[in-house]
Every structure is written in C-alpha cells, then in structure tokens.
Amino acid sequence: MSNPCQFIRRTAVVLTACGLIASVLPGVAAEPAGPAWSRGLPIYQISPRFYAKDGSLASIKADLPRIKAMNVGIIYMMPIHPCTDDPDLNAQRKCNYFQSADYMAVNPVLGTMDDWKGFVQAVHDSGMYLILDYVPRHCSKQNPLVRERPEWFSGTSWGLPAFDFSRQDVRDYHLSVMEFWVKQTGVDGFRIDVAGTIPRDVFNDYRPVMDTWKEVFMLAEADGPSHHPQYDMTYDWRLLELMVKGLANGSRPASDLDALIRDDIANYPEGALRLRHTDNHDFNIGLTQFGKVDASLERRYHGGHKAFATLCATLPGKFMFFNGNEINNTKVIPHGGTTGWIDWVENPEYTAFYTKLCQIHRDNPAIWGGSYRYLNTTRNDHLFVIERKKGDNVVLVVLNLSASQTVGTISDVLPEGDFTEAFTNGTEPLSRNVDLPGWGYRVYVKDTPPRPNR
C-alpha cells in the first residue's frame, strides 16, 4: 500500500458517510505545502491596471502600507505584460491582459521594468511577498513569437495561439521566462493561468529546477489532486460552486460543506493547500468555471458574503480576497478596457472586517496548519460549526449560513477552556446554545501564540 495514511482517511470518510463512526474525523495536521515563509500568510489579489485610475505601479506602491496594515502576507499580482504590439497607452489599456504580447516586458501603462523591480523591492521591504500571474498556455496574436516561431504553436486556447508543450524548446522557453522574473526582478512565485490545460509533466519537470532559484510558491488555476505536489495550492472550484449555487440561495444544507472538506482530506496529498476565497477577477465579471454568476459580491451571496468570507478564512487551506472587497467595492473590474478602476471610498466596517479575518487566519496555526473537526448541531441545515486545532491553539467557528435567524444546540463535544470571540474580544466559556442572526458569524480562539517575526 503506497500511502496507508491516505487509505485510513478515505476509509474513515466512507464509514462516517454510512453512519458507522462518529462525525469527528480530524484532518491530518501535516505541515502545509509551500515554502516555510508562506505558511499562514493571507493572499491579496491585485488587478494592477484597474487598481487606480492611472493604472500605474506607483499608485499601488504608495498603497502598500494600507495593504500591509490589513495583515496581508502575499500579494498576487495579475498579468503585467504588454497585451498588444501597439505602444499607444490607450491601446495597452484596452487589450486583455491575459494575452501577452511580450513575456519579458512590463506594460507601459504600469511603468517601466525599473518601476517593476522597485515595486517588488518595496513589497519585500514591507515584509510581504509577491507572486505573479503567468499565462503560458496561450499568447496574444501580436506576440512576435507567433511570427518568429510558428512551429511553437498548435491549435488555439480561448481563440488565441496555443503553445505546443510537446516540444522541448517551448518548455525551455517558458522556464527561462519564469527564471528571469524570479532572478532578475525578485518575484516569489507564480499563479499559473489555466494550469489544467498544460500537460502535468511540464511542471513536474519545472518544479525541481525552480526550487534551485529560491523557495517559490506555486498556485495552479486548476482543481484536483493530480496537480500536487508540483503546485503548492490549487483552486477549490467545488467550494465556490457550493457557496454560490447551493448555500447562498438556500438550496443546499450547510452540512454539505463537511462532506466536501472530508473529500479533500481523503483524496489530496497531506499538506496540499486549497485556495479558499469568495471572489476573484473572473467572478468579479460574472464568469466562473461552472457558469455565469452575479458579478456583484453582495447579490452573489444574497447579503451573506461576510459569513462566507469567514468560512473561507477558517477552513483548511489558504485565504485570499480580491482588491476592493475590503471597501465592499461594487464596480466591475474588467480584464481590459479604459474604465472599471476601483473608487477607493473609505469603508471602515469592511476594512476592519477583512483586517480581522486576515489576522485570524495568519496568527492561528490551528487555522493554517491544524486539524479539522465538524460538530453536529440540531440545525445542520443552517449552522456550520467546526473546530480547528494545533497543539494548545484551538479555534471554534460558528456560522449561520442562511438568511434567517437560527437557534440551535451543538450536540457534539465542545473544546474546553475559555475562548475569546475574535470580532468582539469578549472572553467566556463556550456554550452549546447557538442563536445567530441571518448570515451571523462567530470565531472563538484560544491560546493564539505570538506572531513570528516574518
């Protein structure tokens, strides 16, 4: 048997589903995948050309203290390359930034290569890290490679010239490009666009080489166990679909979440990270892996997106939020065009909320590297209660994933001791009795260790 621990986890999931053992399966608290520096660090996704009206790196750089103050640890920067061969700035604003016209350059709307290097250095000086969106599957029709290396392409991807990864020279080219951005500009890793369409062995071969450059963090825009361990983290599309199309509209019970997490524990390698989030650049325009959704965060989650964000920040995995969520931005941020930048009107309520969520996620090893236990209640249809634990650090999460006030009782064993509710700072023993307003959320923490200096 190649992995007896995984077999035990899978068997326990089946027995639990059949009602043959109690519903207290702990997740294996293995060290999370990725470099040691990345552990526990929440991710902030930035759409650089639409972060500010001028679309410049300088505007984002000036805002780094605010981002850092929200307890963000990793900035995920969306594509920064030119997306047309037209040097006119308006042309560079209008084109889709997932269509690279030059993998070795910075879009002039953002600034120069020196501006980029200075920006990455400023991120590092602030104590944060940066991963860069990389789109190796396809490129702009205006990319010189299409003319100069036609043999490198075969077919199309999203209507664009698709690289032929059966060729070693294509593989060597993309590896050299990523090496440039790591070694020459200092980026700390990559988010690989449409990673599921790239042959699995490509990044199997890449990863050992990349890890000789520095400790990189790798995120695949793909779902499924087969993308590990060449990637540290994969997207959890099933969770997003369950939240948006099942829980937010009341058509699925909250307890279905437990089955989903148990399936992850059973089938993913130990330590494999799952990206937990409520919003991203595709959701923001209404496009998802599972169909069209409302682009508005408020309408998409029927007013419950704070509860769902709390869920994502406390489930096993890594938490990410999208630029503008922290002010409840209602403006659609496009993939191209001359409008759509964020109107940065202060919203203390939402900024404080996301700051606290990131603090909870970052400061509690129970959250980012602890075990998982589901607690049954008398209202499993609405209430979702979980315990996360690592050593003395314990976090109990109590959510009402419905629009109506819900009263219920926790029937499984509660953790012992006095806990502090993270959002109110109230300290008291835990109670089995739950009374939460629609979309209510409570996070109780115990013995949070001091934050390490990193």
Residue 452's pLDDT band, with cuts at 50, 70 and 90, is confident
Residue 453 CB neighbour total at 10 angstroms: 5
- Nearest to residue 81, comparing CAs of 68, 67, 69, 95? 95
What is the C-alpha to C-alpha distance for residues 70 and 78, in angstroms, rounded to an integer? 20
Residue 315 near residue 261, CB atoms below 8 Å: yes
262-295 pLDDT per residue, tens = 999 999 999 999 999 999 999 999 999 899 999 9
Residue 224 near residue 264, CB atoms below 8 Å: no
What length does the chain have?
454
pTM: 0.94
What pLDDT was estimated at residue 454? 57
What is the C-alpha to C-alpha distance for residues 341 and 65, in angstroms, rounded to an integer? 20
Residue 107 near residue 92, CB atoms below 8 Å: yes
Burial class (CB in 10 A: 0-12, 13-18, 19+), 426: exposed
Residue 27 near residue 372, CB atoms below 8 Å: yes
Burial class (CB in 10 A: 0-12, 13-18, 19+), 122: middle
What is the C-alpha to C-alpha distance for residues 162 and 189, in angstroms, rounded to an integer? 23
What is the C-alpha to C-alpha distance for residues 210 and 232, in angstroms, rounded to an integer? 13
**H or E, element range at 260:** helix 256-267
The phi, psi pair for 158, rounded to 5°, reads 55, 35
DSSP state of 80: -
152-209 pLDDT per residue, tens = 999 999 999 999 999 999 999 999 999 999 999 999 999 999 999 999 999 999 999 9
Residue 12 has pLDDT above 80, yes or no: no
* Structure tokens, 227: 């993308």
C-alpha distances in angstroms, 25 versus 19, 252, 380, 412?
Answer: 12, 22, 17, 12
DSSP characters over 394-414: EEEEEEE-SSS-EEEEB-SPP
* Structure tokens, 437: 């307003």
What is the C-alpha to C-alpha distance for residues 399 and 443, in angstroms, rounded to an integer? 8
116-137 pLDDT per residue, tens = 999 999 999 999 999 999 999 9
